[in-house]
Structure 1
Amino acid sequence: MKITVSSRSGKTVAILDVDAHETVRNLKKKLHARKQVLHPERQRLTLLPKEGESRGEVLDDSKTVADYGLKDGDAILCKDLGPQIGYSTVFFWEYFGPLIVYPLFYYLPKYLYPGQEIPSQHAKAQDIALAYWSFHYAKRIMETYLVHKFGHATMPIFNLFKNCTYYWGFTAFVSYFINHPLYTPPPLIQTYVAFGFAAVCQISNFWCHILLAKLRTPGDKSYKIPRGFLFNYVTCANYTAEAWGWIAFTVGVQALPAALFTLAGGYQMAVWAMQKHKRLKKIFDGKEGRANYPKRWIIFPPFF
């Protein structure tokens, strides 16, 4: 049968010969063969919007043409998502930057703080902060390649520049002030206790990522209810551990730039957590044999 693929403006992109039992992924490959610029990862295929709706249902790569009730002569819409780049590539570069940028202010103060009298040695809080920061981002890179399972293979290439600007820029901002010759560290006991708790948060975050990775195989876009460990109480337990880790980091160094970085990251994680919590509650509504999503905090018990 023939399926017409159109752009949102109504222009015909291609007319494809397809079989009802072909997957949407295969349909994308056929469209790519006709339009070389439309790599399968750049395509978002949707059904035509129903009456009263502004957009149609997005076609799942793993489902077949028949699953969507498409018949000979029907049309679907294709949106070009633009140039794409692999998730793991973006994650590597956004995390690699902080590993390089942060130590510059620690090891090269005479070049980065001209006119300042450089102390003969660093404060213990500065030493531990460098170790914690480096461990955190090395852990993130390791998780990117050995732990995480991505539901999508790629993202828009613009995200590479946006994410690197955020992580690299905040790293320079935080490191500049924490390693400044005029930096005043908090009491040593405060630093030790705070970073001890932060280390526990790092381990907890890692274990949460292990549990999440077990929920899906690469390319699997389906949603499952995370269970075990902190997930028995919090929807986005990985964000909970991450947020508490940076709160502890802030207490351990007692620096305003660290607090601002923590607030910025915490806000973004809260937004993602609300979206995921809402999505899981909608999917697992207890109807038609579906599981009922258990009552849990979103990200930050006992407040949120």
Structure 2
Amino acid sequence: MKLYIQSSSGKELVAGGIAIQSSDSVEDLQKQFQRRKSQYYPSRQRFTLQPAPGEKRGKVLTPGSRLAEYGLQEGQVLIFKDLGPQVGYGTVYFWEYFGALVVYALMFYCRGIFYPSFRSNMQPMTLTQQLAFAFWTFHFTKRILETFFVHKFSHGTMPMRNLFKNCSYYWGFAAFVAYFLCHPLYTPPGLKQTYAGLAFAMIWQVANFRCHLLLANLRSPSSKGYQIPKGFLFNYVTCANYMCEVYAWVCFAIAVQTLAVFIFITAGTAQMCIWAQGKHRRLRKMFDGQEGRPKYPRRWIMLPPFF
């Protein structure tokens, strides 16, 4: 059969259309399109069906699916969108986490550069400052290792602009937090408070790792399609991994008792709440209890008992 490719404005992008079999995959269509438009490699491409009457957007053709699943017919028109330059998820995550490690380490080990007025009378780091640096290093090292050995991404790439946006966020907050925690005038709380806060922070970090392992298993080759997350904290919270992340940083903030960390937590929590609401909504829509589908159980979205 022959499919015709148009832009959202209605401009024909491939003269004469693309000849393809209904049994071919979406990836086969992407390769055919690239042969005619070499600048658009597959991860830049997104094809959608024309919107049905009353709909604003058409259905997206998902890589990994067969064209036959969308009921495509001879002469049908597909809408193409250029997603722009892409970069791998693993690449983005590595650089944002690695940068956060390096920025904090520079401020920790090169205090004379960042606090020149104290250079002649620089006091040694307190135990709380050393433990704070150790926790920060552990956390972002854990994230890097999870990126390469645990996480399984549902999408292979993201827009290139996200690399700069994400790195700006993590590197900027690393500098902000480290500046105040490494400052010569930083006054730590009592050691009992620091020990207790960091102990609970580490417990939440271990719980977060357990959540990531469970999520990775949902996307393992042996799994049959997407499933309702379950087991451990997922029996009670939709985004249990986000919950553990937030509560770990709250405990860290209590341990070090500085406003900079609370600001960092607030910014991160706000973004995770948006992601969590979207994921909770998608799961409830996907598992609606109709036509043989299981019904998504009643759960907290992210932060019991608040959200």
* TMscore range, shorter length: over 0.9
State which drifts further: 166-175 or 63-72. 63-72
Instruction: Report if aligned partners of 2:123, 2:184 keep a CA contact under 8 Å in 1.
Output: no
1:98-118: CA deviations, max 9, x gaps? 110101121111111011264
Instruction: Give 3-state SS (helix, strand or coil) of 2:48's partner.
Output: strand
Instruction: Report if aligned partners of 2:228, 2:283 keep a CA contact under 8 Å in 1.
Output: yes
Report 1:171-186 matches (<5 A). Answer: 171-186=174-189
Report 1:67-78 matches (<5 A). Answer: 67-78=69-80
Measured at CA, do residues 300 and 221 of structure 1 come closer, stay the same or move farther in structure 2, by a change above 3 Å? farther
Structure 1: gaps (5+ residues)? none
Report 1:102-181 matches (<5 A). Answer: 102-116=104-118, 118-181=121-184
Report 1:210-249 matches (<5 A). Answer: 210-217=213-220, 223-249=226-252
| TM-score when normalising by structure 1 | 0.97
Measured at CA, do residues 268 and 222 of structure 1 come closer, stay the same or move farther in structure 2, by a change above 3 Å? farther
Counterpart residue number, 1:95: 97
Counterpart residue number, 1:203: 206
Counterpart residue number, 1:41: 43
Mapped partners of 1:236, 1:106: distance in 2: 33
1:212-271: CA deviations, max 9, x gaps? 0000048x9953211111001100000000000010111111000100000001111111
Mapped partners of 1:221, 1:130: distance in 2: 42
Counterpart residue number, 2:23: 21
What letter matches 1:126 in structure 2? Q
Structure 1 residue runs of 4 or more that deviate by more than 4 Å after TM superposition = none
Measured at CA, do residues 44 and 217 of structure 1 come closer, stay the same or move farther in structure 2, by a change above 3 Å? farther
Mapped partners of 1:176, 1:129: distance in 2: 12
Identity rate, percent: 53
Q: Does 1:277 align with 2:277?
A: no
Q: Does 1:59 align with 2:61?
A: yes
1:128-162: CA deviations, max 9, x gaps? 11000000000000000000001111100000000
Instruction: Report if aligned partners of 1:152, 1:221 keep a CA contact under 8 Å in 2.
Output: no
Instruction: Report if aligned partners of 1:126, 1:179 keep a CA contact under 8 Å in 2.
Output: yes
Instruction: Report if aligned partners of 2:46, 2:83 keep a CA contact under 8 Å in 1.
Output: yes
What letter matches 2:298 in structure 1? K
Counterpart residue number, 1:10: 10
Instruction: Report if aligned partners of 1:8, 1:78 keep a CA contact under 8 Å in 2.
Output: yes
Measured at CA, do residues 286 and 273 of structure 1 come closer, stay the same or move farther in structure 2, by a change above 3 Å? same
What letter matches 2:194 in structure 1? T
Mapped partners of 1:221, 1:44: distance in 2: 25
Using the TM superposition, give the Cα deviation of residue 182 of structure 1 relative to its aligned residue in structure 2, in angstroms: 0.7
Among 248, 253, 258, which residue is 1:255 paired with?
A: 258
Mapped partners of 1:121, 1:151: distance in 2: 46
Instruction: Report if aligned partners of 2:118, 2:184 keep a CA contact under 8 Å in 1.
Output: yes
Q: Does 1:187 align with 2:190?
A: yes
RMSD between superposed Cα atoms in Å = 1.3
Structure 2: gaps (5+ residues)? none
Mapped partners of 2:300, 2:283: distance in 1: 13
State which drifts further: 2-11 or 50-59. 50-59
